[in-house]
Structure 1
């Protein structure tokens, strides 16, 4: 009887060890980039959300957990300014191939850059000496000529400003997005103010200020209390719809759209164009909630002051007090 107990205990220990060591330490840490999604307190969808990652955000993959969901493993990661959490392997790419991670970054999001404050602490190879939030490069000494601003566009009406490497776009609700030349969101800003000629933006996560100066045709950049310097020349700008012109909703009235969000969470949205337009949504079986349509520089935006939904084409972003969900429809 004692031998049987010893063998059984040894079998249980061996089984547990094989589960824990599903991702050998020799493969980690390594750098990666997220496709966007939630960071959780533990390796499952039942664990609380403790953070959110935007598309292209750099992470460091610390170790695997052995917990598999839909063919991909949950990993312990570091992100942002040293935050630790768990991210599902189906939502990011890695610097080097690993079988339970979606893909490598050279086939997915592109070059891998280490997150802030993550290079020396784990002894990983230094892929890049600049964090992903590093300022853009200085412009060419002979800047491109400024295109004349279209008639009727000024600091109060402008909704999108273009430059040679992308654009800045009004996402509604006092928020702006910096888009790269492929239309992907690079950074997000809060609008601090406007005047006749400029829009002033701020990114608190990096202490970065941006001035979109339509009069001079320049986009100016400053860190903290540092001096402003030109980083781009404005090539074009467009204005939002006039306040007395009603916006046409993107979807017909009463049209129900089914989205799939990060980690496979279902989102159902019914779009209506009665009155000023509104949307009714439910996510993951939650009670229905109504959001009113508001002005947006790109796509269509709905909000009730707590939740906001930004839809464009077959994509949608739902923002809530606990984070954001990036969703797509089929």
Structure 2
């Protein structure tokens, strides 16, 4: 299993090709830059010295038996591939990562929080939207890459944000708990239409043309009109939180946070995403070393302290 790879040496393991980028060396020799995945993690890999025909024979979604040499490259484990043999009988669902919680466990906790919401307009709106997306909410990833990019990542990320927000509300009791619970649960629902599927997602036409923030804002408007809730101030504030949850216009939000609850939503969204990426980096590097640079974290390296196991 990928999670068990801790040191350099020869290895052979079954895995899923989840990224397959074709490129050429400075001498013009084709090679593949790969992400190999199983249910425990992702392994960066390079397959050198290929022919044009060999390069075209591999693709995302293929399950292979990968053999090669594990090396340390830029402070992270990498596989220098020797061979990739297709395993056509294997099921792709056995090779994708899953959220740390089962779908039914996440659903039970989400429903508990909705039942705690005292503002019935917000509670009904949130439950109605979840009823529309049904099980997709508990199977889709939160992102195509970078953070919570696994089956169930959308719900798990949203649930983590609810938990963080409730802790913050204990310190700042002037915050509206109902708004934060509902906004955390709903904020990324648009990704169900932005992405093509829960496994190896690509951006849909809607995703590319509209983006998940706009998709959800339109869904909220439609459901509010169906429920005759469009004139409620709490609904207006919820829509503002959804529209501003990326924090800055240059990050994709049409407006910036202008209420305390919107600021908290944007902050916990960012915090949960960044800590996930930092933990991913820590998991693939040696103690006392820095991990590889992470583009989504301003190209920073993350240090793994010596006593961190």
Give the structure with higher Rg (CA): 1
Q: Counting strand residues as a fraction of each chain, which structure ranks higher?
A: 1
Higher RCO, 1 vs 2 (CA within 8 Å, ≥6 residues apart)? 2
Q: Counting helix residues as a fraction of each chain, which structure ranks higher?
A: 2
TM-score in terms of structure 2 length:
0.29
TM-score in terms of structure 1 length:
0.28
